[in-house]
Amino acid sequence: MQADVVIIGGGPVGVGLAIDLAINGVSSVVVERHETIQKIPKGQNLTPRTGEHFRRWGVTEAIRAASPIPRNYGSGGIATYGTFLSDYHYEWFNRAKIIDYYAATNERLPQYKTESVLRARAAEFDQITFLTGWNFQSAEAHTDGVIVTIAETHNKQIRQLSAAYLGGCDGARSQVREAAGISQTTDPHDRLMALLVFNSSQLDKKLSVYGDKTIFNAINPDMKGYWQFLGRVDLEGNWFFHAPVPAGTTRDNFDFHAFLEKAVGAQIDVDFEYVGFWELRLSLADNYGKGRIFIAGDAAHSHPPYGGYGVNTGFEDARNLSWKLTACLQGWGGTHLLASYSAERHPVFASTRDDFILKSIIEDREFTEAYNPEKDLKAFENAWAQRAAGDDSMVTQYLPHYAGSPIVCGQPEARSGATGKHGFVAQAGHHLSPLPLSGDDELWDHLGAGFTLMNLTGDTILTEAFSSAAAARGAPLKTLDLAKTGLSDSYKAEAILVRPDHFIAWTGSHADADAARILDHAIGKFGDDQ
């Protein structure tokens, strides 16, 4: 069997990659070892940026219909001290604070429902072949393609697939990553974590004191900075719970009911559906690609489920990789373009790890060590109030960007990362915050599938220069005359070149717009490629 791309892993990231490629006209074979979707609630907290991906993939309404939690239900959460029913608590992790800067809203549903929606959408594309019950065996890379060997789970039948590229979306223990010889840096925290899925009508009633909230984080001194994290699966009393447990804990030697009651701070009825374990660690692949093999999602970066970074980050990997694979398959991508995938995505997750995940663990540990309500109540309450006032950083200051990317025309000293301040001023390497044009007319709907030149002052010479340069390179370009919209004042620019993934490749004035140079840079055609 032959395709443009073979994708190992049929989870949400792998299927998202396949859908994005199919929209671009690129064929793929998705290989998934499980024959059915694994019904474990995880990856529930989906960002407005992920909502933009859903919008591009045509699944927004299906995602909303699949969600077991109504859209009018509270989107934020509650942080507490000690137990979930603590006198000390505050509003936490409300993604509604940033929705003005995106063309979609946040969504909340378990990953297995997201997977179901994406698989149904994938089935609508002739460009996607889905193989379930098959396991990756090996990959043999050549100068012009990859031969992938897979084995059927039951009868061990062997098949070979040939493709131009191989994508590894096969999780934290990625066989594709190992086959490619891609090393990873691991930051172990030596913690065994339990995942409990259960039903409790009493817990529903007790936590109703907080109103419509779906996620809860208890900052407990005994946990040494690690979260006790509780989330709603639906509004029918179904929950999931993550927390550290002692080393050597098994399903049979530990009282999980008592453990859960202690975390809640009250006696509750519990009917366990699932008890599982995972090792808390942070790992980051040293490179996201090697030759014609690329990795995405947990195969490239794994971490505890703090902040909803997992599946959201994986979707962004897929979107970034998709347009670059498309460009190279269609012949308009330069020799440096695919290398930019790792150059852009690697520092973003390194920053996510250091500036958000690890920072949260360290800060929570330091807080519980420094303040104790039983020893100095006044000092604790003052510190808790200060924490509550400034604890929205995991939402408001999380802004992945590629300011230091080799294919972005920005400041030479700029660095890529995951921290920033949301706004509408256009910045090279940053996500375009789409503003409304008029009434219900949204700028987002006018952006092209390839590059988009936003001409904010109506200079026809500029438009002609970019159109001519794009045509000469075979690069897809849509031009928008936005002179009458007044958006130039908001974006603080005369022109903006938007990439296929809606990040800004260049922004500036007509005077410094060397169209040929800018486009060559954006498609990875520079240096020894010229």
Q: What is the 3-state secondary structure (H, E, C) of 283-347?
A: EEECCCEECCEEECHHHCEECCCCCCHHHHHHHHHHHHHHHHHHHHHHCCCCCCCCHHHHHHHHH
In CATH, the number for domain 71-105+184-282 is: 3.30.9.10
Q: Taking 70 as the threshold, does the pLDDT of residue 55 lie above it? A: yes
For the chain, what percent of residues have pLDDT higher than 90? Answer: 87
Mean pLDDT of 26-46: 93
Please state which CATH class domain 2-68+109-183+286-333 belongs to: alpha beta
Reported confidence tier of residue 280, pLDDT bands at 50, 70, 90: confident
Distance separating the N- and C-terminal Cα atoms of the chain: 35
CB 404 within 8 A of CB 350: no
Helix (H, G, I), strand (E, B) or coil at 231: strand
Whether 2-68+109-183+286-333 shares its CATH topology with 398-529 is answered no
Lowest mean pLDDT across 265-269, 275-279, 301-305 = 301-305
CB contact at 8 A, 174 and 14: no
Whether the per-residue pLDDT at 266 is higher than 80: the answer is: yes
* pLDDT, position 528: 61
pLDDT of residue 526: 83
Identify the pLDDT of residue 529.
64
SS3 at position 246: coil
Question: Is it the case that residue 530 has pLDDT exceeding 60?
Answer: no
Q: What is the DSSP letter of 527?
A: G
Domain residue ranges in the chain: 2-68+109-183+286-333, 71-105+184-282, 398-529
> What topology is assigned to 398-529 in CATH?
Glutaredoxin (3.40.30)
**According to the model, what pLDDT value does residue 190 have?**
77
**Cβ distance 58 to 121 under 8 Å?**
yes
Question: Phi and psi (nearest 5°) for 310?
Answer: -60, -75
